[in-house]
Amino acid sequence: MNTRDILLVDDDIHSLHILSSILHYRGFDVRATSDGIEALEIMECERFRMLIIDLEMPKMSGLELAMKVRERHPDMHIVMVTGSYLPEIVEPAADAGISLVMAKPVDCAKLVSAIRSSLPKHTASD
């Protein structure tokens, strides 16, 4: 089974498309979905090195998704992006196994840097 770089999960289709396009342009192998439940189903069939998730999504929040993923994939790198960034989110996110929380709109240069530091063997060029 091949391992892709990133599974991107965000219910905002516009944000999902833009971030997916930017990451593809930067050389990352990205799969995108707008639903946390679908993300879990995808992860049953495909491997990923990193998960980038939105906080507020219908059906399953980003925190719930992170906790479920952490149970099945304890070494998965998880980053959360959210339009509802509040300092109170950081501690529950860390408890859910999320290593980084970023506010929307996402600073793409910082996100790419964080991805590269988490996935050091990645050789995508700028």
Read off the pLDDT of residues 6-35 as tens digits, 9 standing for 90 and up. 999 999 999 999 999 999 999 999 999 999
Question: How many CA atoms are closer than 13 Å to the CA of 4, on its beta-carbon side?
Answer: 18
Q: Where are the domains of the chain?
A: 3-103
48 Cβ contact list (under 8 Å, min separation 6): 3, 4, 5, 6, 7, 31, 76
Radius of gyration of the chain from its Cα atoms, rounded to whole angstroms: 13
77 Cβ contact list (under 8 Å, min separation 6): 49, 50, 51, 99, 118, 119
* Domain 3-103 classification at class level: alpha beta
pTM for this one?
Answer: 0.91
pLDDT of residue 7: 98
